Amino acid sequence: MNSKTKNILVELAFSVLAIIISFMIGAIVILFIKGNPLEVFGTMFSGAFGSLSNFADTLEYATPLMFTGMAVAFAFRAGLFNIGAEGQLYAAAFAVAVVGFMLKLPPFLHITVVILTALIVGGLWAYVPGVLKAKLGVHEVITTIMMNYIALDLTNYLTMRNVFKQPGQIPQTKDILHSAQFGTMTFLSKYTHLNSGIIIAVVVAVIVYFVIARMKLGYEIKVTGYNSNAAAYGGINNKNKLIIAMVISGAIAGLAGAEQVAGVMHHFVSPFPVGIGFMGIAVALLGKNDPFGVIAAALLFGALSAGGTQVDTMTTVPREVIDIIQAIIILFVASEVFLRKLIVQRIKQRKYRKMLEQSNLEQLDV
């Protein structure tokens, strides 16, 4: 087994450990509120995988997370914290809704326009924090969080304008035309909202992989993220790379908005479902900022979501129990680097102490 495979297995082991521990803590919380952990976890599992329609739910909840996870992961490669996936997807989602009902185009063209709109608007929403960071050094965590709230308020305002609003009580936009909708996979289950967005997600993952691993742009973004001084030395324009990375990140997050509007709801509603952007951070972390890892992590979180819905309806335990589990996973994965170094270092120190005592100095490389 070469060292690269060994590394991947170790990473996997830690992720699995994180999941197990968070479930254990979830169990403790469930016990505390007088629930039955086994019943809850069982319901969760069946809610996620128990039937074809449940599995479709898992995939459906996972899809937007694939996008936001990849968005956050991409930004991380440049050393940027994109906490703004939430706002980026709102803005894009609204734009998609408008483009979806205002334009009359043949289906293929309409979908292309939908996708392009999401990419552009999402990218634009991330452009502002990107530029502020690149040109003025303003930390993107704060600016992206601010942009989230601005997106929330702006889309809320726009949704209520008569030109966009669906007549009636509910604050939502007019339904998008059929030609703009992502096809739903009703062959899996009659009531599912799982749509072709998931295929787009996988395609995006492949593209992102190639950009990061094989393209000069990906290399330069990585160098910028690891060491901006070395990047400057190496002829890389750090400022541009930061902006490009943020815009690409925002564009991918925008696709989450497109999927939700064009694939699931077929209109924009205010307030839009909250948390997809934040959860993207957890997914990126668990997926180790690698596009395929993100897909896997998104599937896990999608399963948790689907399971959570079932738990909410079938047991006395509220769905928020999955928030707890997800939070613990994040904390554990975030601590992982240190824990791993600690364990490895302890093993090595013990080995060398023994060698020194035996004065087996030939083996030491000094």
Site for another protein in 131-160 (CB under 8 A): 132, 136-138, 141-143, 145-147, 149-150, 153-154, 156-157
Asked if 364 interacts with another protein (CB under 8 A), we say yes
Using the rule CB under 8 A, which residue among 9, 170, 339, 343 binds another protein? 339
Q: Per-residue x/- mask for another protein, residues 250 to 279, rule CB under 8 A?
A: ----------------------------x-
Long-range own/partner contacts, residues 157-166 (CB < 8 A, 24 or more apart): 158/94, 159/94, 159/268, 159/269, 159/270, 160/270, 164/97, 164/98, 166/267
| CA 273/CA 360 separation, integer angstroms | 64
Least Å distance, CB 192 to another protein, is 26
Among positions 163, 357, 358, 362, the unique one binding another protein when judged by CB under 8 A: 357
Distance CA 244, CA 221 (A): 9
| One-letter identity of residue 64 | P
33 binds another protein (CB under 8 A): yes
Site for another protein in 73-102 (CB under 8 A): 81, 83
Of 114, 208, 285, 306, which lies in the binding site for another protein, with binding defined by CB under 8 A? Answer: 285
Distance CA 19, CA 325 (A): 8
Q: Residues 216 to 235: which contact another protein by CB under 8 A?
A: 216-217, 219-220, 222-223, 226-227, 229-230, 232-235
Least gap, CB of 197 to another protein (angstroms): 24
Under rule CB under 8 A, residue 331 binds another protein: yes
Secondary structure letter of residue 162 according to DSSP: T
DSSP string, 322-356: HHHHHHHHHHHHHHHHHHHHHHHHHHHHHHHHHHH
For residue 214, give both structure tokens.
């094989």
> Dihedral through CA 75, CA 77, CA 80, CA 85, nearest 10?
20
Q: Which of 16, 214, 343, 360 forms a contact with another protein (CB under 8 A)?
A: 214
Nearest of 274, 251, 258 to residue 195 by alpha carbon: 258
Considering the complex, what minimum distance in angstroms separates the CB of residue 324 from another protein? 5
Q: Output 40 or 194, the one with its CB closest to another protein.
A: 40
Residue 20 has which token pair?
């197990």
Q: Does 10 bind another protein (CB under 8 A)?
A: no
Q: Is 18 in the site for another protein (CB under 8 A)?
A: no
Q: How far is it, in rounded angstroms, from Cα 317 to Cα 28?
A: 13
Q: Which is nearer to another protein, 29 or 113 (CB)?
A: 29
* Nearest distance from C-beta of residue 173 to another protein, angstroms: 15
Considering the complex, what minimum distance in angstroms separates the CB of residue 332 from another protein? 9
> Does residue 282 bind another protein (CB under 8 A)?
yes
